[in-house]
Amino acid sequence: MKRDLLLMTAPVRDSFDIPCHEIGPKAAHPAAAFVAGLHGDELNGTFILSRLADFLNGVEAGKHPGLKLLKKVLIIPAVNVLGINLRSRTWPFDKSDMNRMFPGNVSGETTQRIALAVLEATKKAEYRVDLHTSGVDFEELPQVRLYSPSDAQRATARHFGLPAIMERSISPVFTTTLMHAWQVWPGQSFLLRVGQGGTVQLGHCQQVFRGLVAFLGQTGILAGVSLAEGDEEISHFRQGSSKRLYAGKAGTFVSDCQVGRWVRTGQELGYIYDSFSGNVIEKVEAPANGLLTGIRRHPLLFEGDLLLRINPKS
């Protein structure tokens, strides 16, 4: 069922809403809440969640015999609705980052009011998942991000079946994020990072869609899910284990490497060309043995830009 999280006026356009799906048995609070599109350019998450809503609505309609939704699920495919429509990462009117507006404020800025509505709808869920991509410049291997997690959270993170689980500490910049606002509530919170902004990457989306269904199965929210055939390898990386390579030179970066590959120290991963003369000015090599968990996709490099991230086997 579609519900409006809140309805707001606009200066000259018609009023607009931030809609969500509520699917499954009636309950005061959802058992699981999924949020995407706080940033309007992060299309993988919005696509995945809209497809998940379609799938779960199908389960409710009896289209998938053997599957049964036992608890309520809440899905917000996009918070920054206007941003999606206008291809803007930020809230288009005042260019504010909607994931810096939490916990929100009922009488504050437009984006703080929206933030509050999102937090109110999701904070009492047992499991909360916020989907992001990297920016349009960088591609992330589909991964679960944990922020100073408990052991229980580490265990639950495996239910997504994604290739990497990465731990991070909370930086002071992130105290106004949805993830941070969730942390004070009982229950478990997860941030998924999936691919690159500005595009829908079908392979990544399918992998994460299957991951979310598996997660709902493992947590007892969706009954009848058959567990994955070949269990995929899941690597768990503790905080500080990432090896990052920054561009020593500016120029044009070209690479045909795919995220999710294991690479060896010194392996050639791409080239930096002088954008004017066309000379190769740097051969980019893997700085360590490990899993390629992220790589630069925009070819134009400023000196110092992040080229890639490798996580050694722990």
Residues that bind another protein (CB under 8 A): 8-12, 89, 93-95, 107-113, 135, 172-173, 244, 246, 249-252, 275-276, 300-306
What is the nearest approach in angstroms of another protein to the Cβ of residue 84? 17
Q: Report the residue number, 26 or 95, with the smaller CB distance to another protein.
A: 95
Which residues does 120 contact at the CB level (< 8 Å), separation at least 6? Answer: none
Q: Report the residue number, 286 or 301, with the smaller CB distance to another protein.
A: 301
What is the nearest approach in angstroms of another protein to the Cβ of residue 225? 39
Q: Are the C-beta atoms of residues 208 and 132 closer than 8 Å to each other?
A: no
What is the nearest approach in angstroms of another protein to the Cβ of residue 252? 7
Helices (H) and strands (E) in the chain, counts: 6, 19
Q: Report the residue number, 27 or 300, with the smaller CB distance to another protein.
A: 300
What is the nearest approach in angstroms of another protein to the Cβ of residue 11? 4
Phi, psi angles (nearest 5°) of residue 190: -135, 140
CA distance 12 to 16: 11
Q: Report the residue number, 12 or 61, with the smaller CB distance to another protein.
A: 12
Task: Write the DSSP string, 194-223.
Answer: EE-TTS--HHHHHHHHHHHHHHHHHTTSEE
Q: Report the residue number, 236 or 298, with the smaller CB distance to another protein.
A: 298
CA distance 262 to 292: 6
What is the nearest approach in angstroms of another protein to the Cβ of residue 39? 10
